[in-house]
């Protein structure tokens, strides 16, 4: 085991790998600072560029991006009350008031050190869990993997904050799209409507570039102006004090990191839950007299979510790598990079690609620490990015997005697919349908169908196979509970009269 860790570090400590790690970290910082872009868009844009790279180098680049994004997001959350990515919204609750009070430097310093510390704690936790994860994963067969794919979709739908139904709809829509193309079971093509390009199925990477990068750019050009119009608040004061504050409040860092690690390991729950849960637990754990200061510039309110976000990024690798179920959108796109480089996420990956996995974990950790340091140095110019006019930002990002989509396999149809998914993605934003479930369905659809057919072959077509295996029963129970829980909660609230249901004709 120790040898694998060392091999991972050794692989990373090459000039080429370190250069790409640094490049990824800068890109991550840049994309993290721009609300709406974030890690998923950065990885989606970079995916085609990794084609010419060695797998290990591509992982170093990806690790750099994933490690850099949270720091970029926290800078704009604190300075402009504009979270770069959704999880950073929790940071803004106390970070922005600190900036208004002239303590922006303190807040950014604390965010940077909490980010780095959270990343390190998350890495240690993942390194401890990974060896056990392999044994657990090997207990899973086709029936379990089929149900696990469904459970992943259900979990993601239920965590779409009040959008259970629409989450399930986009999940089902994603599955329908995932079934397009050549079918291994019947040996023929399906739903291609005579389009030869679709015989290979809907290409994941151009679809993801469309769903995120293009859709966000359409949205930005509709909204107009710049990402942030509040130039007055881009003001920085001393930052070193903040670095020390994190270590002074070490219980908050440890708690946040552990919450991030646990939440990150659950597929689809994501950074928003991790950061807000960490924030609320910190408020709950505070003394009665201190609680009133939260939301008004308490530094613990910055440290807690930031530690959780980076720890979550590390542990989200567990379901992604071990089960092939992405922990979130960013991980779903990252899975695309793994697949592009011939690494199929799932149980065998933990056996066949151990050096790459450990290299990736170290890359992610190194990037967290480096991004925190560089973020502190670059905070002034980075904050200006959010003031860039959409009229300039949108064409540049779209050019890179479409050219990148074409470059994946030099197929111009990719560009059309990206545009189509860009429009679909924008419609999903416009009509308030979550996009995460469609991504997970696109990733899991084919394997879910294959595992379903294999299960049916194993049982001579008897559905009882899903009831005869203990792990299947646990997964089924989990799925039913997750589906019923939000409904039961809403119904009980309604009947208890705590939340009165609006009656017909009301406004």
Contact positions with another protein (CB under 8 A) in 49-108: 49, 51-52
Nearer to another protein, 134 or 163 (CB): 163
Total residues contacting another protein by CB under 8 A comes to 73
Min CB(430)–another protein separation in Å: 7
492 binds another protein (CB under 8 A): no
Contact 109, 242 (CB under 8 A): yes
Min CB(151)–another protein separation in Å: 15
**Within 10 Å of residue 187's Cβ, how many Cβ atoms?**
7
Contact 96, 108 (CB under 8 A): no
Min CB(481)–another protein separation in Å: 16
- Of 72-80, 265-273, 277-285, 400-408, which part binds another protein (CB under 8 A)? 400-408
- Centroid of chain to Cα 30: 16
Q: Which of 306, 211, 307, 315 is nearest to 270 (CA)?
A: 315
d(C-alpha 37, C-alpha 248), whole Å? 33
Nearer to another protein, 178 or 350 (CB): 178
- Helix, strand, or coil here: 30? helix
Min CB(276)–another protein separation in Å: 15
470 binds another protein (CB under 8 A): no
392 binds another protein (CB under 8 A): yes
Contact 103, 241 (CB under 8 A): no
Which structure tokens are listed for 310?
Answer: 């980076």
From candidates 16, 296, 430, 462, binder to another protein by CB under 8 A = 430
d(C-alpha 170, C-alpha 285), whole Å? 38
Contact 260, 311 (CB under 8 A): yes
Cα–Cα separations (whole angstroms), residue 140 to 65, 143, 371, 442: 32, 8, 37, 22
Min CB(48)–another protein separation in Å: 9
d(C-alpha 5, C-alpha 357), whole Å? 9
Nearer to another protein, 8 or 422 (CB): 422
DSSP result, 55-94: HHHHHHHHHHHHHHHHHHHHHHHHHHS--SSGGGHHHHHH
| Residues near 437 by beta carbon (within 8 Å), at least 6 away in sequence | 153, 156, 157, 160, 167, 168, 170, 171, 174
Which helix (H) or strand (E) segment is 376 a member of? Answer: helix 354-385
Min CB(194)–another protein separation in Å: 12
Min CB(112)–another protein separation in Å: 30
Min CB(314)–another protein separation in Å: 29
Min CB(198)–another protein separation in Å: 13
d(C-alpha 232, C-alpha 220), whole Å? 21
416 binds another protein (CB under 8 A): yes
197 binds another protein (CB under 8 A): no
From candidates 20, 362, 426, 466, binder to another protein by CB under 8 A = 426
224: DSSP letter: -
Among positions 253-282, residues that touch another protein (CB under 8 A) are none
216 binds another protein (CB under 8 A): no
- Centroid of chain to Cα 302: 20
Min CB(49)–another protein separation in Å: 7
Which structure tokens are listed for 220?
Answer: 């930005």
From candidates 17, 94, 306, 449, binder to another protein by CB under 8 A = 449
169 binds another protein (CB under 8 A): yes
Min CB(447)–another protein separation in Å: 12
From candidates 69, 86, 98, 164, binder to another protein by CB under 8 A = 164
381 binds another protein (CB under 8 A): no
Among positions 175-194, residues that touch another protein (CB under 8 A) are 175-176, 179, 183, 185-186, 188, 190-191, 193
Nearer to another protein, 5 or 179 (CB): 179
Using CB under 8 A as the criterion, what x/- string covers residues 116-155 for binding another protein? Answer: ----------------------------------------
243-274 CB burial, b ≥16 within 10 A, e <16:
bebbeebeebbebbbbbbbbbbbbbbbbbbbb
From candidates 400, 471, 476, 482, binder to another protein by CB under 8 A = 400
453 binds another protein (CB under 8 A): yes
Backbone angles phi, psi at 182, to 5 degrees: -70, 135
165 binds another protein (CB under 8 A): yes
427 binds another protein (CB under 8 A): yes
């Amino acid at each position: 085991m120790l040898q694998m860790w060392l091999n991972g570090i050794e692989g990373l400590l090459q000039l080429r790998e370190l250069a790409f790690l640094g490049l990824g970290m800068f890109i991550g910082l840049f994309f993290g600072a721009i609300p709406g872009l974030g890690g998923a868009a950065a990885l989606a844009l970079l995916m085609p560029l990794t084609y010419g790279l060695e797998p290990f180098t591509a992982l170093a680049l990806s690790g750099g991006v994933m490690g850099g994004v949270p720091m970029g997001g926290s800078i704009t959350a604190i300075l402009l009350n504009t979270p770069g990515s959704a999880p950073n919204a929790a940071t803004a609750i106390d970070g922005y008031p600190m900036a208004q009070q002239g303590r922006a430097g303190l807040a950014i310093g604390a965010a940077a050190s909490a980010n780095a510390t959270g990343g390190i704690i998350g890495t240690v936790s993942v390194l401890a869990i990974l060896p056990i994860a392999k044994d657990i994963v090997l207990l899973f067969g086709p029936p379990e993997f089929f149900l696990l794919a469904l459970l992943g979709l259900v979990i993601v739908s239920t965590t779409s904050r009040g959008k259970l139904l629409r989450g399930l709809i986009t999940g089902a829509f994603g599955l329908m799209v995932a079934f397009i193309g050549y079918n291994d079971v019947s040996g023929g093509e399906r739903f291609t409507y005579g389009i030869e390009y679709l015989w290979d199925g809907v290409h994941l990477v151009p679809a993801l570039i469309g769903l995120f990068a293009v859709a966000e750019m359409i949205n930005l050009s509709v909204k107009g102006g710049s990402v942030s119009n509040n130039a007055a608040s881009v003001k920085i004061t001393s930052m070193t004090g903040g670095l020390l504050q994190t270590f002074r409040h070490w219980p908050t860092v440890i708690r946040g990191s552990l919450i991030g690690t646990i939440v990150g390991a659950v597929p689809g729950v994501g950074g928003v839950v991790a950061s807000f849960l960490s924030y609320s637990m910190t408020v709950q754990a505070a003394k009665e007299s201190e609680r009133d200061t939260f939301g008004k510039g308490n530094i613990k309110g910055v440290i807690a979510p930031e530690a959780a976000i980076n720890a979550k990024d590390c542990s989200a690798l567990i379901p992604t790598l071990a089960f092939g179920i992405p922990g979130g959108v960013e991980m779903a796109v990252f899975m695309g990079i793994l697949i592009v480089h011939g690494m199929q996420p799932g149980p065998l990956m933990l056996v066949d690609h151990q050096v790459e996995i450990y290299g990736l974990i170290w890359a992610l950790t190194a990037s967290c620490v480096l991004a925190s340091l560089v973020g502190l140095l670059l905070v002034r110019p980075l904050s200006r990015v959010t003031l860039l006019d959409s009229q300039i930002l949108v064409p540049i990002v779209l050019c890179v997005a479409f050219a990148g989509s074409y470059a994946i396999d030099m197929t111009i149809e990719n560009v059309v697919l990206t545009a189509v998914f860009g429009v679909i993605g924008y419609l999903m934003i416009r009509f308030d349908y979550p996009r995460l479930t469609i991504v997970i369905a696109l990733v899991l659809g084919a394997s879910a169908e294959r595992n379903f057919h294999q299960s049916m072959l194993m049982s001579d077509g008897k559905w009882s196979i899903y009831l005869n295996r203990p792990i299947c029963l646990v997964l089924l129970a989990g799925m039913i509970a997750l589906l019923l829980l939000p409904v039961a909660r809403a119904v009980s609230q309604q009947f208890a009269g705590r939340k009165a249901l609006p009656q017909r004709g009301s406004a």
